[in-house]
Every structure is written in C-alpha cells, then in structure tokens.
Amino acid sequence: MSHRLVVLQGPSAAGKSTLQAKLGLPRIVTWTSRPPREGETHGREYYFGSAEQLKAMYASGELLETTEYQGNMYGTSMASVAAAIQDVTPHSVVLDAFGARKVKERYGDKVLLVGIYAEKDQCARRLAERGLSALEQERRLASYGEEVSLLFGCDLIIPNPDQRLDQALYFIEAIGGALTEPWD
C-alpha cells in the first residue's frame, strides 16, 4: 500500500484518539493554543503554544495549516508531515476536517483519510464521562452535525458505536496490517 499517513477525523468523542492508539503507528504531534489538560505533556499529546506563536509559525511557513476549533488554534508542522511521508514507517495524525483536507490536497494518495463515526447521543455521553464542563460539552456537540457531514470526504468511514469497539478495532487493525506490509 502506498499510503504513508493515516489521518483520523470525526466528531469529538467519536473515538479518534482511542483508535489512533490502537493503530499503533507513530503519531504526528500537532500544535495547539488550548491549555494542557491534566496529565497532558508538551510534546506528547500536543505542542502547547500561544495563539500568537502559532500565527507567527503559520505566517513563516512553519505550519502547513491552522484551524480554529472551539476558540483555540491548532496547527500541523510542515516539517513533521513531510518527515512522516518520507519515513519508511507509516504515521498517523488526528485532524479536523479542514486540516485533513489540506494534508490530502498536498499529499494525495500517500494520505489515507479515515473518518470515525458515532451517534450524537453516544458522543454526548462519552463527553460527559470525560469530565468536561457543561459548556465545553455543549460546544463540542454544537459542531457534531457539520463534522458528520464532512465525513463524506473521507476515503473510508469506520463506525465506532458503543459496545462495538471490537468491530472498529478490527477495521483499524486491518488498516494497520495493510500499511505495514512490505512495499516497493
């Protein structure tokens, strides 16, 4: 398979990070201006920086793309994506639909866009269990409809309903297996 980068997109709490972890590929760490959550470390979950820093990085061409999500900026470093695409080992990254499209436009078939889908009430429950404030939960769910409609731009969509994580994992493992087979 010629895909070098798996991009996961989908609504908040659909299960993107969970499935990315199970995919087991090295992850591209992206930048955000949102404050770190408890347990998050600079360089592991994200690189944390100010909005001004991210804007300056974008202006200087250091970031391939930036997006605003829930009032915070996010961005992917040009060098990290280029290095991932060149690397012998495929990588993965979680991006919103805007970032996913940018990366796909630039790298075409080297990028596999995987949409992760779960129903709205299930995402709502998962968000509530994550301990986010009521306002944050509401904000994340507000973009649910738009994020689901944008899944149709993906190369494939994996449903991740409650109680069927095993089924979603089956597909994720199949992708991981196909990507890590020897290629010419």
Ligand X SMILES: Nc1nc2c(ncn2[C@@H]2O[C@H](COP(=O)(O)OP(=O)(O)O)[C@@H](O)[C@H]2O)c(=O)[nH]1
Ligand Y SMILES: Nc1ncnc2c1ncn2[C@@H]1O[C@H](COP(=O)(O)OP(=O)(O)O)[C@@H](O)[C@H]1O
Which residues form the interface with ligand Y (CB under 6 A)? 10, 12-18, 126, 130, 160, 162, 164-165
33 binds, among ligand X, ligand Y, none (CB under 5 to 8 A by kind): none
How many whole angstroms separate alpha carbon 173 and alpha carbon 167?
Answer: 10
Structure tokens at 22: 């199970």
- Amino acid (one-letter) located at 67: T
The residue assigned the tokens 């930048």 is 31
The region that residue 174 occupies, defined by phi over 0 for left and psi between -120 and 50 for alpha, beta otherwise, is alpha
**Per-residue CA distances from 18 to 7, 72, 102, 172 (Å):** 14, 22, 23, 11
Q: Decide if 112 contacts 155 (C-beta within 8 A).
A: yes
* Residue 114 interacting entry, from ligand Y, ligand X, none, C-beta within 5 to 8 Å by type: none
Return the number of the residue (53 or 122) whose C-beta is nearest ligand Y: 122
Nearest residue (CB) to ligand Y, 9 versus 57: 9
By a kind-dependent CB cut-off of 5 to 8 A, residue 34 interacts, out of ligand Y, ligand X, none, with ligand X
Nearer residue to ligand X within complex by CB, 10 or 90? 10
Is the Cβ of residue 26 or residue 177 nearer to ligand X in the bound state? 26
Task: Say which entry of ligand X, ligand Y, none residue 98 contacts (CB below 5 to 8 A, set by partner kind).
Answer: ligand X
